[in-house]
């Protein structure tokens, strides 16, 4: 499996091809959302909603073979696309890898300018929640 750094590099290259046209970039992000694996209906509950997102975002995490497996969904297509990027980078990693991950791709592709400040705050909240899950699982491993 590629490293977190390699996956980030791939994403940056993909966005470079899109160029400066904001509309095509947003269309592309929306398309990425289609790659998300389907989210189990029974997990679509308030306790899995990430606080701090304007759109609704559900996130679950499970540990299998020492790797964290994230599943997520949203009620808006653009947010689904953003989640799919985070899952591509952070899912199926060890808690330590997730905790240590520096997510440069967000700044490198100028995500702030693409999605605006409110959605950027939401994106930060998603990352924070994923790292919190990693911390919790790491604590469990060390217990």
Partner 1 sequence: MPINIEEIRNQFPVLHQEVNGKPLVYFDNAATTQKPKQVLEALQQYYEMDNSNIHRGAHTLADRATRYYENTRSAIQKFINAKEEEEIIFTKGTTESINLVASTFGRKFIGKGDEIIISTLEHHSNIVPWQMLCEEKGAILKIIPINDAGEIDLEEFEKLLSAKTKLVSLVHVSNALGTINPVKRVIELAHKFGAKVLLDGAQSTNHLEVDVQELDCDFLAFSAHKLYGPTGLGILYGKREILESMPPYQGGGEMIKEVSFEKTTYNEIPFKFEAGTPNIADVIAFSKAIKFIDDLGKKEIKKHEDDLLEYASDALKDIKGFIPVGTAKEKVSVISFNINGMHPFDVGMMLDANGIAVRTGHHCTQPLMKRLGLEGTVRASFSVYNTKSEIDQMVASIARIAKIKNK
Task: For residue 3, give the H/E element and its range.
Answer: none
Q: Whole-number minimum distance, CB 17 to partner 1, in Å?
A: 17
Residues between 43 and 82 with contacts to partner 1, criterion CB under 8 A:
54-55, 75-79
Position 110 contacts partner 1 (CB under 8 A): no
d(CA 100, CA 92): 14
Q: Whole-number minimum distance, CB 37 to partner 1, in Å?
A: 20
Pick 14 or 77: Cβ nearer partner 1: 77
Pick 20 or 64: Cβ nearer partner 1: 20
The string over 10-38, giving b where at least 16 C-beta atoms fall within 10 Å of a residue's C-beta and e elsewhere, is: ebeeebeebeeeeeebbebbbebbeebee
**Which residues make beta-bridge pairs with 50?**
none
Q: Whole-number minimum distance, CB 22 to partner 1, in Å?
A: 4
Q: Whole-number minimum distance, CB 55 to partner 1, in Å?
A: 6
Q: Is 108 exposed, middle or buried (0-12, 13-18, 19+ CB in 10 A)?
A: middle
Query: Which tokens hold the place of 38?
Result: 């389907």
Query: Which tokens hold the place of 74?
Result: 């949203």
Pick 3 or 54: Cβ nearer partner 1: 54
Position 106 contacts partner 1 (CB under 8 A): no
Query: In the complex, which residues of this chain contact partner 1 (CB under 8 A)?
Result: 20-23, 25-27, 30, 54-55, 75-79, 115-116, 119
């Amino acid at each position: 499996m590629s490293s977190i750094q390699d996956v980030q590099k791939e994403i940056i290259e993909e966005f470079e091809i899109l160029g400066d046209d904001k509309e095509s970039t947003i269309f592309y992000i929306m398309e990425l959302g289609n790659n998300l694996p389907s989210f189990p209906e029974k997990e679509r509950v308030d306790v899995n909603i990430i606080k701090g997102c304007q759109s609704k975002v559900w996130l679950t995490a499970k540990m299998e073979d020492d790797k964290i497996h994230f599943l997520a969904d949203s009620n808006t297509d653009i947010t689904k696309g953003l989640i799919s990027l985070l899952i591509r980078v952070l899912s199926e990693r060890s808690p330590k890898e997730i905790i240590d991950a520096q997510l440069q791709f967000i700044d490198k592709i100028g995500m702030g300018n693409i999605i605006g400040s409110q959605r950027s705050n939401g994106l930060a909240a998603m990352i924070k929640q994923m790292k919190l899950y990693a911390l919790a699982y790491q604590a469990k491993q060390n217990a």
